[in-house]
Amino acid sequence: MANQIDGLKDALVGLDMYKVLDKVKAGLDAGVAPMDMVKDLQAGMVEIGDRFARGEYFLSELIMSGEIMKKAMALLEPKLAGVDQEYKGNIVIGTVQGDIHDLGKNIVAMLLKGAGYNVIDLGVDVPAEKFIDAVKENQAPLLAMSVLLTGCQDPMRDIIKAVRDAGLDVKVLIGGNYVDEKVKEYCGADYFGTTADDGVKVAKQVFGA
């Protein structure tokens, strides 16, 4: 049965959208467990993330693979109901209040999912309460906040303060093009990231896996 999905991972890594979708459809028709296909696709995303880290892939490849992944998951998700997926841990992610840029956040979320984490994506323009509720509800050890506009770094600081004041035991990662050590200190975050694969690096540290 595995034959149907041989090369699924490679097709994704090679960004061959039609091949990926054909293989997923063929796999479903042949009764391949959807979870096995998800695992192959995740392995593909990990490989894509590694290639990005090595400078072989660029954002265009990450975005294209994300679009393929979206289309493939649209076929697979209806068949996944009732199947328990094992995760390395919960991560809450979102773009901070006042900012609606989601390119970086989406890519980081996609790579984290690919690496086997359960990512709770709150979207854009997310206020403090929403972050806090999601961290509590999911007992997430890692909260990742994205910001592009430098003018929204102040609200980010306020959100982090609110998270700390709520007494939550959570590590905070901030990410964005204009984020650096200075911004991290100013906002009181634990980690900062500027490139797509930094999220996975930090998650590995936080979760030890």
Residue ranges in contact with other proteins by CB under 8 A: 15, 17, 52, 55, 57-61, 63-64, 67, 98, 100, 103, 125, 149-154, 177-180, 182-183, 186, 195
Decide whether 115 or 183 has the Cβ nearer to other proteins.
183
Smallest separation, CB 185 to other proteins (Å): 8
Smallest separation, CB 157 to other proteins (Å): 11
15: phi then psi, degrees, rounded to nearest 5 = 60, 30
Residue 93, beta-bridge partner list: 121, 144
Decide whether 138 or 177 has the Cβ nearer to other proteins.
177
Q: Where are the alpha helices (DSSP H) in the chain?
A: 8-13, 17-29, 34-53, 59-80, 103-114, 128-138, 153-165, 181-187, 198-207
Smallest separation, CB 189 to other proteins (Å): 13
A 10 A CB-CB count for 184 gives: 17
Decide whether 33 or 103 has the Cβ nearer to other proteins.
103
Per the structure block, which two tokens stand in for 153?
């770094």
Residue type, 95: T
Decide whether 47 or 125 has the Cβ nearer to other proteins.
125
Q: Taking each helix axis from N to C terminus, what angle separates 34-53 and 103-114, rounded to the nearest 10 degrees? A: 120
Helix, strand, or coil (residue 94): strand
Decide whether 30 or 59 has the Cβ nearer to other proteins.
59
Smallest separation, CB 60 to other proteins (Å): 5
**DSSP conformational letter for 191:** E
Decide whether 55 or 82 has the Cβ nearer to other proteins.
55
Smallest separation, CB 18 to other proteins (Å): 9
Report the candidate in 64, 78, 4, 74 with the shortest Cα–Cα distance to residue 40: 4
Smallest separation, CB 169 to other proteins (Å): 27
51: phi then psi, degrees, rounded to nearest 5 = -65, -35
Per the structure block, which two tokens stand in for 149?
């506009």
Helix, strand, or coil (residue 73): helix
